[in-house]
Structure 1
Amino acid sequence: STTANGTANSTTANGTANSSTTNSTTPSATTSQTINLAPANAMTSKLNITKDIFTVGTWNVKTLWATGKLELLRNEMKRYKYDVIGISEVRWTGKGETSSGDFIYSGESNTHTKGVGILLSAKARKLLLCYNPIDSRIITARFNATPFNVTIIHVYAPTAESSEDEIESF
């Protein structure tokens, strides 16, 4: 979960939590399209979830729409040594990934509101099998691991200040 001041919390792959609790949620059925990256991307790398540390966090960045914000986020990711960070309030339009492949995102069609994304370290990029930009509030990413693959679901839920219709439709 993300704190109000935008700090990231983390959980390692072996189940050790760093200032967070892990909640799982299952998105409802949708017509979104999964983008498969295997076999070229992940068949050479595999995360051993019983031995390797894979640090995952979340961060509400308020916006990545301003010039240079993504680069600042990349630097913070390296500084704190995260492998994956789920990003809320990206505020980019459309769905896709950056040319470097280290940031996948899902936003509104025409407005710079809401939006989610997942920032990946070089290690995580090598493990990424596929991702699914479901809508402006939900994105998933699946990683090659043993004894089983790992799916990360990043969700940006409406706040209490949101309209009743928006909360109900979520």
Structure 2
Amino acid sequence: MEMIVCPKTTLTIGTLNVRTLAKEGKKDLPAREINKYKWDIIGPSETHLPVIGVERIGNTTLVLSGRNDGIHHQGVGFILSKKAKKSLMSTTPVSEHIIAIRLEGPTANLSIIQAYVPDSSRSDEESEEFYSQVHSLIDSIQKKT
């Protein structure tokens, strides 16, 4: 199996504020972008998809962490190329603002966090909760081998 996390392999990762993937035909946009630019991983934010899970779109895989109340607002995720999907070990959806994936490598594994910071209209409590969740996630990743 060809691994994406390798010492002599270039891994291309980017982020993309998609503003919504909830409209008809929008889910195909990131898949087209990942193929067009030959990226391995894209972290979309503001997906507006109330979904938590994994789905296949064309030759890419979409890993999502959205709201669990059915409201089409916020949401983050990862779009993985076919090659990146082969190395996917686990997904950790935390909230509609935070998700992590873990990729397998031959000598070490790689964790990637996609976080979309709540805007300034949010309360101090919501902002503190966000940062607390990020710190907890980082702490849990650092303890893994």
TM-score bucket (shorter structure): 0.7 to 0.9
Correspondence 1:126 to 2:91: no
**Larger helix proportion of the pair:** 2
1:103 aligned residue (62, 69, 90): 62
Structure 1 segments of 4+ aligned residues over 4 angstroms from their partners: none
Is the CA contact (8 Å cut-off) linking 2:3 and 2:83 kept in structure 1?
no
CA–CA separation in structure 2 for the residues paired with 1:108 and 1:118: 15
Q: Which residue of 2 aligns with 1:93?
A: 50
The residue type paired with residue 101 of structure 2 is A
CA–CA separation in structure 1 for the residues paired with 2:3 and 2:86: 8
Q: Which residue of 1 aligns with 2:77?
A: 117
Is the CA contact (8 Å cut-off) linking 2:5 and 2:109 kept in structure 1?
no
Structure 1 residues 75-124: Cα deviation after superposition (integer angstroms, max 9, x where no partner): 11111111000110111113111145700101011211111110000110
Identity of aligned residues (%): 35
Is the CA contact (8 Å cut-off) linking 1:96 and 1:105 kept in structure 2?
yes
Can you give the 5+ residue segments of structure 2 that lack an aligned partner in the other structure?
A: 131-145
2:108 aligned residue (127, 130, 148): 148
1:133 is displaced (CA, Å) by 1.1
1:48 is displaced (CA, Å) by 4.8
The change in CA–CA distance for 1:66 and 1:150 in structure 2 (over 3 A counts) is: same
Can you give the 5+ residue segments of structure 1 that lack an aligned partner in the other structure?
A: 1-43
1:72 aligned residue (19, 26, 29): 29
1:74 is displaced (CA, Å) by 0.8
Aligned residues: 127
Is the CA contact (8 Å cut-off) linking 2:4 and 2:84 kept in structure 1?
no
Is the CA contact (8 Å cut-off) linking 1:45 and 1:144 kept in structure 2?
no
Q: TM-score, normalised by structure 1?
A: 0.69
Is the CA contact (8 Å cut-off) linking 2:74 and 2:97 kept in structure 1?
yes
Is the CA contact (8 Å cut-off) linking 1:47 and 1:146 kept in structure 2?
no
The change in CA–CA distance for 1:63 and 1:155 in structure 2 (over 3 A counts) is: same
Compute the RMSD of aligned alpha carbons. 1.6
